[in-house]
Homo-oligomer: A and B are copies of this chain.
Amino acid sequence: MSQTVDRALSILPLLAEGPADLGQVADRLGVHKSTALRLLRTLHEHGLVYRQSDQRYRLGARLFALAQEAMENLDIREIAHPHLVRLNEQTGHTVHLAVHEENEVLYIDKVESRYPVRMYSRIGKPVAITVAAVAKLLLADLPEAERRALADKLDYPLYTARSTANATAFLRELELVREQGWATDLGGHEESINCVAAPVRGADGRVVAAMSVSAPNVVVTAEELLTLLPLVRRTADDISGEYSGRTPVRDPA
């Protein structure tokens, strides 16, 4: 690791606490004033640090711009994909990844049993929003007002006898999902298909995506599928960790 860079970067969290002048920075870094000056100058040239009118230093505008740009380029799908593949290899079942957008829930990735098929279209198919396990997870995380408003606007088609029947039942189900942190769809969409799903959360704890494992009755019973829940949740948590930058990746120290 580079000492100079290390010192320079140590300035950033220090300034995040509030503005500081050259002397304070030098003291807290444990270096000579002239050294601190040069480091600050370099940070300044890159816009990470800004000098306000009283000559004290602040964190600069470029930092916001960088964070902003990085946010937009964060591709959940890209991060999640290898995890989906691994989950598929471990279970043999179909794995889905879905996001919530504009009152719809869309699949954005899918790995099918044995042969990994990547869906390249960014805009996937809308899912059955009232019954799909992933939809429940994504909607359960909305503020209550939005949840209610949305629930009222939806249609509740009876795909099967176990489909969610109306807004009241749906809201009750969302409440349950919200509390337990996972969701299922047991024959609610197609009679013979069961799903178990877990949420992917961003750094702020909000649900940004949901992942599910689906299998037909003829292959595994609902009970057997439920035994996969811990694995599904762990995988979702791994993705969450990676997505929010909490590095769960092994470092070959």
B-binding residues in A (CB < 8 A): 1-2, 4-6, 8-10, 12-13, 15-19, 38-39, 41-43, 45-48, 50-54, 58-71, 73-74, 78-79, 82-83, 101-102, 104, 106, 108, 117, 121-126, 143, 203, 242, 244-247, 249, 251
Contacts and interface: CB of A to CB of B under 8 A. Distances in A.
23 contacts: A1-B42, A4-B4, A5-B8, A8-B9, A9-B43, A13-B66, A17-B73, A50-B102, A50-B245, A50-B247, A52-B249, A53-B79, A60-B101, A60-B102, A61-B104, A61-B203, A61-B246, A62-B245, A64-B108, A65-B124, A65-B125, A67-B67, A68-B125
Given A48-B9, A73-B17, A126-B65, A53 B245 contact: no
Question: Among the interface residues A61, A102, A117, A125, which one has the most CB atoms of the partner chain B within 10 A?
Answer: A61
Copies of the chain in the assembly: 2
A78 B53 CA distance: 10
Contacts of A6: 42, 45-46
Contacts of A2: 4, 8, 38-39, 42
Closest 4 CB pairs of A and B: A61-B245, A64-B124, A59-B70, A67-B67
A180 to B, nearest CB: 25
Contacts of A62: 13, 102, 104, 245
Contacts of A71: 64, 121
